[in-house]
Amino acid sequence: MKNFILFILAVVLAACSFSGNSEFARNHQKWQEANIPHYRFELNIGCFCAFRSRMPLTIEVQNGEIASMTGPDGVAIPTTDSNYEYFSRFATIDHLFSELEADLAGEADEVTVSYEATYGYPIQISIDFIKEAVDDELGLTVSGFEALP
């Protein structure tokens, strides 16, 4: 009887963790099947960061690579910018899925995400890396997505 109860508990726990991953997998597959090689979107990175006034970024992606990244003033952000490397971690939809996959796999204590219905890309991600810590949260918002020719 004890083994049976442990088995049921294991199945329930596996189902709980699988449901979040299945939503991720379903939307990631939707994004991959959309096969959009050229697109533009706005990215807002919300955190306890000094660069908040530089949001949102407008990012153009072509064939999985960042084609351009501009600030709200329309000025291009050069690769030599001190924040460019950090910004580029989230600057493609594929990068967002990679970040989300790592965080859902345990790199963060709490992750909430909303997905876009047609193409499946994440539109709102909230990450709390350490639940008991203050000022470690990260919010990522995708808006204005546009497939380009």
pLDDT band at 7 (very low <50, low <70, confident <90, very high): very low
| Residue ranges per structural domain of the chain | 2-147
User: Are 135 and 49 within 8 A, CB to CB?
Assistant: no
Query: Taking a C-beta distance cutoff of 8 angstroms, is the pair 54, 72 a contact?
Result: yes
Q: How far is Cα 126 from Cα 30, in angstroms, rounded to an integer?
A: 21
CA atoms within 13 A on the CB side of 18: 6
SS3 5: helix
Query: pLDDT above 90 covers what percent of the chain?
Result: 66
pTM metric for this prediction: 0.80
Q: What is the pLDDT of residues 68-125, one digit of tens each?
A: 999 999 999 999 999 999 999 999 999 999 999 988 888 888 999 999 999 999 999 9
